[in-house]
């Protein structure tokens, strides 16, 4: 069973609020990822990290930011939420080797009203 956790599972928040989506893994994985998932669309990579103090932007432009101060923790922050940020956000982690599969959290479904 994958040991990667996301909180909260569901979040409804007003426009302009600052939010942080939490993601933690207990597997000691170096690589971590944030994907955005909308119905009928592919998972879009928005951020990834190779390890502590490493963060990179993904293919999909996002107004969110991430940090990686500890190996196990990879939070995503939106400074000012907007309705266009409404989506499902999936966090994942993997070992460093290329053939390693990604382990996913259960996701956070964000609704901005």
Partner 1 sequence: AQSVTQLGSHVSVSEGALVLLRCNYSSSVPPYLFWYVQYPNQGLQLLLKYTSAATLVKGINGFEAEFKKSETSFHLTKPSAHMSDAAEYLCAVSDSSGGSYIPTFGRGTSLIVHP
**Chain contacts with partner 1 (rule: CB under 8 A):** 2, 4, 6, 31, 33, 35, 40-43, 45, 48, 50, 56, 58-59, 90, 92, 94, 96-107, 109
Residue 41 or 82 with smaller CB distance to partner 1 = 41
How many Cβ atoms sit within 10 Å of the Cβ of residue 104? 17
Q: Answer whether the bond into residue 64 is a cis peptide, omega within 30°.
A: no
Q: Counting beta carbons within 10 angstroms of the beta carbon of residue 87, is it exposed (0 to 12), middle (13 to 18) or buried (19 or more)?
A: buried
Residue 48 or 74 with smaller CB distance to partner 1 = 48
Shortest Å distance, C-beta 83 to partner 1: 21
Shortest Å distance, C-beta 79 to partner 1: 25
CA angle 26, 37, 54 (to 5 degrees): 45
Shortest Å distance, C-beta 68 to partner 1: 15
């Amino acid at each position: 069973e994958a040991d990667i956790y996301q909180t909260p599972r569901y979040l409804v928040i007003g426009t302009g609020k600052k939010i942080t989506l939490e993601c933690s893994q207990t597997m000691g994985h170096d690589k971590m990822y944030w994907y955005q998932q909308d119905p009928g669309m592919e998972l879009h990579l928005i951020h990834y990290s190779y390890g502590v103090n490493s963060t990179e932007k993904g293919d999909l432009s996002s107004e969110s930011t991430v940090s990686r101060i500890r190996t196990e923790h990879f939070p995503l922050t939106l400074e000012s939420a907007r309705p266009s940020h409404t989506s499902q956000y999936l966090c994942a982690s993997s070992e460093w080797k290329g053939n390693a599969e990604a382990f996913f959290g259960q996701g956070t479904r964000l609704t901005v009203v």
